[in-house]
Chain A
């Protein structure tokens, strides 16, 4: 009972505020459209920021690897040919001590393969990788599968081709086992096991992804003039300590003239990435903030005008025992309740819009992991609407506080 007793004034003030809003629906509605729009905009901005970050992260993952990716490269500065098998052996030796879960050798852009196409044999760019590459670069396929361990044992070695190349060979479904034929050192029939999607409409590169080991076996050894990189996916928590130690281990006992580089290549290591997402959010957030401010101004305006009509009502309430504090709270809460409701409406609308698949597709073509609507965005919107309500409610509430009861009831 005592708890209920102490609740009465708060519950009463809230009930007063709600009833006032209910009675003046039109006035409230008009003043709140701006707030709902502004809060919706603010929420959308925060949510878009999150999505944008996700899209950028995914794009960066495709190029630089996921957080955290370390890349080990090697080169000779004495002109001697590079022995990549020796480098592999060196890495395997060092890696034994680390138990890396995923690593992949990569040769990207330096190798072309002669492929028999309808218009003749064409040198196509190729990417040589290990099976772990797909997981490390968040690669998904349009059709079929990626490489798996043991693919090198197959008589017709598997290849994964780009969508542009798939178009050139007539988009034969992977289930029907399409093949491509190569000539030269790589002569033979290769089974197409998967197709990588285009990065966008601009992506027209016909490309063949081959297993590193398949290529190496066909050629006998990796040519010394290509640059082979090795990527290692490591937990982000230990990447900073691991990098220097790994570099030291890899360089230990290296013959003169051999330079081994160890870098972090994922976007988490690049300050500019976070900055650009932040700038996007700040700019759009500032715009939403201005809209919110304008909404608040119009709300104050309308509330102040309405206050003149409510002086008699306040007088009547005061004469029936409402304390000035209670009147202040009611008028103040009225504004807070109103903007909170408006804000919630704005947030719900934005959530509904942003959850629809075609909006996501339209704004972020190719996004893979659509993150759930960010909770932080909804909370930001809600907090903003409460704050706006508090600011907009303070001035009319102060005016209400100054109403003289005896004058008000004679009005």
Chain B
């Protein structure tokens, strides 16, 4: 079942000098429930804009976004916000935990925008989620007392606590070392597949991208499926040529 579907989505912004900048060109993308998609691309290629559109934070200049069975084109802002809160969980590169709030409060935050049992039992749910990501001993720690890996695990718990159908991760390992990044990504994969949520990861790290089932590359606003084996080979070649070229390079 298709969860989110982008049809001919384009995004343009007006620059201060009145010229238009095309960020996305006619992007078509379907993300199914439980799907795992990675999108790689250089900085400035429009990855974050695409993620924002997928997460209903931004609206396209042209094209259509369907979330579930509904078109978001005519949806009112409040409805979009509630839909996002109930269905989408974000994991950011810089963690974006709320300063001064404990891990528990950070994880409970999305539930404070829910209603009914989710709202009233938010602390218990948040504690259970933190336990799931292995931080049951850190419930009352403030973000600045947590390591980078721990912070990102709190962020993952926060993204998953409302059992969203779609998890959007924007460079989730960008601020972590390789080893921590790898363990955080395994955790993210694990909890996402446990809950049956679709996971869309944006990254420029091919290893992170390789964890997904489907791989896309965004280049100058154009989204295309990509064969990661080729990408790995190209990247290895590039690294080698850098190493080979270096000794002779002028200083």
- Contact at B84–A5, with CB atoms within 8 Å? no
Which chain A residues (316-341) contact chain B, with CB distance < 8 Å?
A: 316-326
- Contact at A320–B100, with CB atoms within 8 Å? no
Q: List B contacts of A16 (CB < 8 A).
A: 112
Asked whether any CB of chain A lies closer than 8 Å to the CB of B28, the reply is no
- Contact at B101–A23, with CB atoms within 8 Å? yes
In angstroms, Cα B84 to Cα A321, docked, is 5
Say yes or no: A23-B100 contact (C-beta < 8 A), given A319-B55, A319-B57, A321-B110.
Answer: yes
Asked whether any CB of chain A lies closer than 8 Å to the CB of B216, the reply is no
Asked whether any CB of chain B lies closer than 8 Å to the CB of A124, the reply is no
- Contact at A322–B85, with CB atoms within 8 Å? yes
- Contact at A323–B77, with CB atoms within 8 Å? yes
| CB < 8 Å neighbour of B120 from A8, A320, A322 | A8
* Chain B residue, CB-CB nearest to A325: B78
- Contact at B98–A8, with CB atoms within 8 Å? no
- Contact at B119–A320, with CB atoms within 8 Å? no
Bitwise interface map of B from 118 to 142 toward A, beta carbon under 8 Å scored 1, else 0? 0110000000000000000000000
Say yes or no: A320-B113 contact (C-beta < 8 A), given A8-B120, A11-B119, A23-B100.
Answer: yes
How many residues on A have C-beta within 8 angstroms of the other chain's C-beta atoms? 29
In angstroms, Cα B98 to Cα A312, docked, is 9
B156 CB, nearest partner CB in chain A, Å: 13
Which chain B residues (63-108) contact chain A, with CB distance < 8 Å?
A: 77-78, 81-82, 84-86, 89-90, 92, 96, 98-101, 105
- Contact at A12–B113, with CB atoms within 8 Å? yes
* Most A Cβ at <10 Å: residue of B55, B78, B100: B100
Bitwise interface map of A from 377 to 411 toward B, beta carbon under 8 Å scored 1, else 0? 00000000000000000000000000001100110
Q: List B contacts of A8 (CB < 8 A).
A: 114-116, 119-120
Say yes or no: A19-B101 contact (C-beta < 8 A), given A1-B116, A320-B110, A406-B52.
Answer: yes
Bitwise interface map of B from 188 to 202 toward A, beta carbon under 8 Å scored 1, else 0? 000000000000000
Asked whether any CB of chain A lies closer than 8 Å to the CB of B169, the reply is no
B: contact size bracket: 20 to 34
Which chain A residues (179-207) contact chain B, with CB distance < 8 Å?
A: none
In angstroms, Cα B99 to Cα A325, docked, is 22
* Most B Cβ at <10 Å: residue of A1, A312, A319: A319
Asked whether any CB of chain A lies closer than 8 Å to the CB of B37, the reply is no
B63 CB, nearest partner CB in chain A, Å: 18
| CB < 8 Å neighbour of B158 from A5, A15, A320 | A320
16 contacts between A and B (CB under 8 A): A4-B116, A8-B114, A8-B119, A11-B119, A23-B101, A312-B96, A313-B99, A316-B96, A317-B113, A318-B81, A319-B57, A319-B84, A320-B110, A320-B162, A322-B113, A323-B78
- Starting from the known contacts A320-B85, A322-B113, A323-B113, 16 additional A-B residue pairs (CB-CB under 8 Å) come to A4-B120, A5-B115, A15-B112, A16-B112, A19-B101, A19-B105, A316-B98, A319-B55, A320-B89, A320-B158, A322-B85, A323-B78, A405-B57, A406-B58, A409-B92, A409-B96
